[in-house]
Amino acid sequence: MSTSGIFSKRGFLTTASFIAFSLMLAAPYGCSKKGEEQPKQETAVQAPAADPGKEHFDKGVQFSLKGQLDDAIKEYEAVLTYNPKSAEAHNNLGFAYFDKGDIDKAIEHQKLAVESNPNLANGYYGLALALENKGDKKGAIENWKQFASLSQPHSKWWMKAQEHIQALEGKAPAKAKK
């Protein structure tokens, strides 16, 4: 898959693209700088196996990948009835709302994701995108930096965060948002 094929017309990752891309990049790039090797996961936004809402989570991911955002939102909301603090469900719900254009709900759910799991790099990524879209430069910069601190240094996603930070701080010419 070429990187030019994973971005929406707005220049942002769509939920389905981000989830699909996370599936491909979780192992080679990682989202943690902890000294130990992280267990290989299928996705960086995977629901815990013991969670009774896992079936709904998995359905939500499938709907997201197909671009069926309303159905995905219903499934992620069902997960939250079982586990209201599921960082992964809030994160994916935030991306689904972002893609639907509901930036306020996207911000709300990404904030809940990072409150539930302060080490969820994808939550900071989604929050940074939404805040940047909303015009909150300071909040976006803070969240891009937090995402970068949890990402593998010099990975593709870490570099994208650096580009956003520099553009928002006016230190580099603005590039297409990705």
Burial class (CB in 10 A: 0-12, 13-18, 19+), 84: exposed
Q: What is the pLDDT of residue 171?
A: 85
Q: What is the pLDDT of residues 81-105, one digit of tens each?
A: 999 999 999 999 999 999 999 999 9
Q: What is the pLDDT of residue 3?
A: 33
Region 66-70: mean pLDDT is 97
pLDDT at residue 49, rounded to an integer:
55
Q: What is the pLDDT of residues 3-19, one digit of tens each?
A: 333 333 334 444 444 44
Give the pLDDT score at 45.
57
CATH number, domain 9-31+41-168: 1.25.40.10
| pLDDT for 48 beyond 90 | no
Residues in contact with 163: Cβ distance below 8 Å, sequence separation at least 6, in sequence order: 172, 175, 178
Looking at residue 172, what is its pLDDT?
62
More confident residue, 46 or 13: 46
Residue 165 confidence (pLDDT) above 70: yes
pLDDT tier, 35 (very low <50, low <70, confident <90, very high otherwise): very low
Which tokens in the block code for residue 61? 């991911």
Summarize the confidence of residues 40-55 as an average pLDDT.
58
Would the pTM of this model clear 0.75, i.e. be above it?
Answer: no
β-sheet bridge partners, residue 7? 13
19, 46 contact by CB (below 8 A): no
Give residue-wise pLDDT tens across range 111-146: 999 999 999 999 999 999 999 999 999 999 999 999
